[in-house]
Amino acid sequence: MADGSNIILDAVVILGGAAIAAPLFKRIGLGTVLGYLSVGIMLGPILNYISDGEQILHVAELGVVLLLFIVGLELNPSRLWDMRRQIFGLGASQVVISGIVLSLLAWQIHFSWNAAIVVGFGLALSSTAFALQLLEDSNEDRLPHGKKAFSILLFQDLAIAPLLVAVPLLAAGTMEFTSEGVWQLGIAAFCLIALIAAGRYALNPLFHIIADTGAREAMIAAALFVVIASAVLMQFAGLSMAMGAFVAGVMLAESSYRHELEADIEPFRGILLGLFFVAVGLAVDLQIVWNNLQWILIIVPAALIIKGVVIYALCRFFDTGHNDAIRVAFVLPQHGEFAFVLFSAAVSVALLTPQESSFLIACVTLSMALTPISVKIGNLLVRQDDHEHMEEDFEGAGANVMMIGFSRLGQIAAQTLLAGGCDVTVLDNSAERIRQAQRFGFRIYFGDGTRHDVLRAAGIEKAKMIAICTNSKETTDRIVELVAREYPRAKLYVRSFDRGHSLELLQRPGLWEIRETFESALVMGRALLEGLGMSRTEAEDIVADVRHRDSERLKMQLQDGWLAGRETLHSAPVPEPLVQPRHQGQAISSETEEILED
């Protein structure tokens, strides 16, 4: 309804459209973000059902605020300090260089020099909401390129404050700091320090008191209060609301209530962030787009390419591999929601006209809509390399069980552990396998399991059991030797590759081993017996007998000194048959079984 008189009906229509479009677009591979955008464009510019998209956008910006709070919960202060080079090196370089290049482009078009600076640096900022949502949807937010993208976005959130201070100075035509500007910076510093102090000394006691009451709804209300109050305080200080929520999240990152807070906030974050994307679609002015279509078709691709090239070059300069640099460059080329704030401030001081601001906002919105497509193009440019390098980052590693090697056997064993409520740290040296595994929720780290320093960094000293599931016999033996030497009390569970390898491993006391194909072969054998008409009970008895005899034969071979090597096995006397034949046919001997297994 154009007059907005029935808010509840509007909400029903928006939620219904989102519920249909988001899964539909995800199903066809375009992502939920583009689905939400399409709902906004359909309800606003096309059908003109909802005309006040700006008012919805103000409410929906809380989705970005809650998103940054949850991101902050994942980053404790020490980890944030470790990222300082990426934040203040890579992030600052991106804002400055992209801002200068885009300012020159704006000046060449027709903007005055001071307006061009606002336009250039406004377009240099990317969309935190779009980029983080896309990374989260693909489970790439914790991968190296996801962390670099986040570092750039975090500095952009910091940069909005000085940019807003610079707008009235540019409008006045002088860059001299006024007493009002200095006062605003002082307020910003004071509010930031006050928020950090409150987060360190007040928030944990507050949540402790509320938790003791057992009132879950009060806990949810307190969580929302902390996030929104922090955001409002930072807005008062001239910083972004998202920055306030992020700082509050970081201050609570080491709190014992972190997981509960994340669970309480997550539903609100998801709904409001989806509403934010719908509101962006509502804000598109198709008339302005149509009237300036030629310029938009030139400026938007040009700005995206410029930002992408700058980000790729800077990532490479800061020691990032080609694939990760490509991924960052193609997830961050769009312009962001902070451009709306910056251009509105420029209009209020007559640095930009309302028509120019509307044109720029249309460019920003279109660049957001193109982001899912940009990410897909970037994935096509990634080199397929199984030995691609990833950074060794063991933040959060350390569990009762450490699994080295995420092979086929390891993947199923890890699922069993997780289903049983056990925590497991998985270590693997394949970058592609790690990306695939993290998309399914596994906590897996990149590293070489044959290196002692890597094992220590990954938390092997905390592990009670070590599962070695690598794909190479030689690698397995090296890891077994290393762990047995350095951590003799650790319980070893090892995947072996054949009977000879099992015999070698079983010489070590306290080690448990299994041939990868042995149990699955027994299951298949049981199924074949049942398929021939044998009862399930009789088939299971035969399988149990085969398993028992195989175990006894292994013990006998160990006692007789039968180790790996087919020649030794074949020249030794044949023990009793593995199974006594119940039907016509020859009994299977140890020698025959060994050949069949290979």
Model pLDDT for residues 368-418, shown as the tens digit of each residue: 888 888 888 888 888 765 444 545 455 555 577 888 888 778 888 888 887
Residue 414 structural domain: 384-515
Q: How confident is the model at residue 306 (pLDDT cuts 50, 70, 90)?
A: very high
Q: Which two tokens stand for residue 329?
A: 């460059």
Query: Which amino acid appears at position 425 of this protein?
Result: T
For residue 361, is pLDDT > 60? yes
The answer to whether the CB of 422 falls within 8 A of the CB of 357 is no
DSSP states along 51-120: --HHHHHHHHHHHHHHHHHHHHHT--HHHHHHTHHIIIIIIHHHHHHHHHHHHHHHHHHT--HHHHHHHH
> Does 49 map to a domain?
no
pLDDT computed for residue 312 by the predictor: 93
Do 490 and 509 lie in a common domain?
Answer: yes
Top pLDDT among 94 and 26 is at 94
For residue 511, the domain's CATH number is 3.40.50.720
Do 162 and 183 lie in a common domain?
Answer: yes
For residue 93, is pLDDT > 90? yes
Residue 118: C-alpha distances to residues 93, 129, 300 (Å): 17, 21, 17
Do 345 and 209 lie in a common domain?
Answer: yes
Do 423 and 538 lie in a common domain?
Answer: no
pLDDT computed for residue 354 by the predictor: 77
For residue 307, is pLDDT > 90? yes
Give the C-alpha separation, 249 to 264, whole Å: 13
> Does 215 map to a domain?
yes
> Residue 487: which of 458, 512, 456 has the closest Cα?
456
Q: Mean pLDDT across the stretch 566-592?
A: 41
Top pLDDT among 306 and 590 is at 306
For residue 319, is pLDDT > 50? yes
Do 474 and 580 lie in a common domain?
Answer: no
For residue 201, the domain's CATH number is 1.20.1530.20
Instruction: Count CA within 13 A, CB hemisphere, residue 108.
Output: 7
Q: Mean pLDDT across the stretch 9-32?
A: 81
> Does 70 map to a domain?
yes
Do 258 and 280 lie in a common domain?
Answer: yes
Do 356 and 410 lie in a common domain?
Answer: no
Do 479 and 597 lie in a common domain?
Answer: no
Q: How confident is the model at residue 326 (pLDDT cuts 50, 70, 90)?
A: very high
DSSP states along 8-56: HHHHHHHHHHHHHHHHHHHHTTS-HHHHHHHHHHIIIIIT-S---HHHH
Mean pLDDT of the chain: 77
For residue 275, is pLDDT > 50? yes
Q: Greatest CA span in the chain, whole angstroms?
A: 102
> Residue 129: which of 102, 109, 105, 149 has the closest Cα?
149
pLDDT computed for residue 120 by the predictor: 92
> Does 391 map to a domain?
yes
pLDDT computed for residue 440 by the predictor: 61
- Work out how many domains the chain is built from and give that number: 3
Query: If DSSP codes are grouped into helix, strand and coil, which group holds residue 514?
Result: strand
The lowest-confidence range among 146-160, 245-259, 296-310 is 245-259
pLDDT computed for residue 481 by the predictor: 86
Q: How confident is the model at residue 16 (pLDDT cuts 50, 70, 90)?
A: confident
For residue 588, is pLDDT > 60? no
Q: Considering 515, 542, 570, which residue would you say is the last residue of a domain?
A: 515
Give the C-alpha separation, 507 to 558, whole Å: 8
Give the C-alpha separation, 132 to 466, whole Å: 35
> Residue 146: which of 83, 62, 240 has the closest Cα?
83
> Does 29 map to a domain?
no
Q: Considering 460, 484, 515, which residue would you say is the last residue of a domain?
A: 515
The lowest-confidence range among 108-117, 171-180, 211-220, 252-261 is 171-180
> Does 277 map to a domain?
yes
pLDDT computed for residue 597 by the predictor: 41
Q: Considering 380, 397, 414, which residue would you say is the last residue of a domain?
A: 380
Q: Mean pLDDT across the stretch 427-432?
A: 75
**HEC assignment per residue over 385-424:** CCCCCCCCCCCCCCCCEEEECCCHHHHHHHHHHHHCCCCE
pLDDT computed for residue 580 by the predictor: 46
The lowest-confidence range among 92-101, 528-537, 581-590 is 581-590
Q: Which two tokens stand for residue 318?
A: 């800061």
> Does 21 map to a domain?
no
Do 401 and 345 lie in a common domain?
Answer: no
Do 201 and 59 lie in a common domain?
Answer: yes
CA angle 163, 375, 447 (to 5 degrees): 95
When mean pLDDT is compared over 79-93, 209-223, 583-597, the highest value belongs to 79-93
When mean pLDDT is compared over 12-21, 93-102, 221-230, 257-266, the highest value belongs to 93-102
Top pLDDT among 384 and 230 is at 230
Do 125 and 249 lie in a common domain?
Answer: yes
Residue 495: φ, ψ to 5° = -85, 125
Do 181 and 280 lie in a common domain?
Answer: yes
When mean pLDDT is compared over 52-66, 114-128, 460-474, 564-578, the highest value belongs to 114-128
The lowest-confidence range among 429-433, 495-499, 549-553 is 429-433
Task: For the chain, state the CA radius of gyration.
Answer: 30
> Does 18 map to a domain?
no
Total-model pTM: 0.58
Q: How confident is the model at residue 569 (pLDDT cuts 50, 70, 90)?
A: very low
Count of C-beta atoms within a 10 Å radius of residue 302: 12
Instruction: Count CA within 13 A, CB hemisphere, residue 382.
Output: 23
